[in-house]
Amino acid sequence: MSNQPVDQSRRTWVTMACAAGGVGGVATAIPFVSTFQPSERARAAGAAVEADISNLKSGEMMTVEWRGKPVWIIKRTPEQVAGLSKIDGQLADPKSERKLEMTPEYARNEHRSIKPEVLVAVGICTHLGCSPSSKFQAGPQASLPDDWPGGFLCPCHGSTFDLAGRVFKNKPAPDNLEIPPHMYLSDTKLLIGEDKKA
């Protein structure tokens, strides 16, 4: 233990310098640490999207964007729903069993949807990422077979999908169209990107 007197002015100066350094360090660290958090734009890109389907009529389709991808919402007619079971033999994966992660459990059925008449699917071909065109009209058409039941045609390499987004056999696309997580907030409102209540 030293017998020298304590220099109070020096002690005060050292205390103030340490406090100022601590404040400066915290002030510098806050913006640095905040750069690790996703931006508002990034958060919005992954956020769930609400879709109002109250004006969607039977046989019509609307498109919403979720995570930068087009998501189709199709209200199928009763005839279109009834026709889904008739073409299972023509499909590569009629029950969506090959890639389970692309079809939520509540959509692993013949119509690949929560409600039979409403399909929600990501409108991107599973081959090379093109966006297929809607070809809902059944029957012979250019680039389609004479017994075409209605569905989607990818213009890039000719992959075809039925009205449940299931790929036909012997096509370049290896899998059915992806079904995004979704749920109904009401009879006319869908939430795409979340399915906590499903």
Residues catalogued as catalytic: 157
Radius of gyration of the chain (CA): 28
Cβ–Cβ contacts within 10 Å for residue 119, how many? 25
Q: How far apart are CA 116 and CA 109, in angstroms?
A: 9
Tell me how far the alpha carbon of residue 37 is from its chain's centroid.
Answer: 22
Q: List all residues 6 or more positions away from 111 whose beta carbon is below 8 Å from its beta carbon.
A: 76, 81, 84, 119, 164
Q: In terms of Cα–Cα distance, which of 58, 51, 74, 66 is closest to 184?
A: 51
Which residue's structure tokens are 């906590």?
196
